[in-house]
Amino acid sequence: MTFTGFPREGIQFLRDIDDNNNRDWFEAHKHIYQTALIEPAQAFIMALGERLQAIAPNVQYDTRTNGSGSLMRIYRDVRFSKDKSPYKNWIGIVFWEGQGKKTDNSSFYFGISGSGAGIHAGMYGFEPAMLAAYRAAVDDEVQGSALAEIVAGLQTAVYPLHGDQYKQTPRGFAKDHPRADLLRYKGLYASAPQLDPDIVASSELVDVCFAHCQKMAPLQQWLARVKRATD
């Protein structure tokens, strides 16, 4: 299975679903979803997953389409949402590292939409055990200083940090802690510059994604090491 890019027909499908987010339209165009998104996504997962092992030796990935593997389901969970649109207008792919739910682990994430693609590395949110381990690691002089250096390097290289933060330094830590800003994070990840549709449709996409992942890998790997202590 060789990856040659996401067909433009698939990118257009993601644009069109914005205006046609209903079951009848989706079922009538499901063949496009399968051939122009699912199948190239499976090839992409294998190609990039193999490359990522050079910078994240324990990274996990597979091509299952039931939501258990790297490819996230396009179907939205609308049970507790005011938005009852049944489908997402993007395709999400995750390469994770650690035990348990993949979404609780440090990962590389790739998302493709009608406007292009995004690449992220880290953890969107910390579950309780990880949050405690993260704060302890940030507080530790060796580990915390290493993270501060990683963060500074990413921001210099135009890979901005994201993640919800508490308004105040967590209880038990000095308000003037040298890494107080890092202690406030509830999740932490970096993002690469947005990729335009021409790159997404190109066979060069794997090389471009890997180059960005290399730059963001120090953050992803730091978080993966901290997470392993909670497994």
CB contact burial 110-120 (16+ within 10 A = b; e otherwise): bbbbbbbbbbb
Tens-place pLDDT, residues 122-172:
999 999 999 999 999 999 999 999 999 999 999 999 999 999 999 999 999
Indicate the helix (H) or strand (E) that contains 110: strand 106-113
Question: Which domains occur in the chain, in start order?
Answer: 8-228 (3.30.930.20)
CB contact burial 41-63 (16+ within 10 A = b; e otherwise): bbbbbbbbbebbeebbeebbbeb
Q: How far is CA 60 from the centre of its chain?
A: 13
pTM of structure: 0.94
The SS3 assignment for 197 reads helix
Pairing of strands 161-162, 106-113: unpaired
Task: Name every residue whose Cβ is closer than 8 Å to that of residue 89 and which is 6 or more positions away in sequence.
Answer: 14, 15, 17, 18, 21, 113, 114
**Which pLDDT tens digits describe the chain residue by residue (231 residues)?**
799 999 999 999 999 999 999 999 999 999 999 999 999 999 999 999 999 999 999 999 999 988 889 999 999 988 888 888 999 999 999 999 999 899 999 999 999 999 999 999 999 999 999 999 999 999 999 999 999 999 999 999 999 999 999 999 999 999 999 999 999 999 999 999 999 999 999 999 999 999 999 999 999 999 999 999 998
Q: How far is CA 188 from the centre of its chain?
A: 11
The SS3 assignment for 226 reads helix
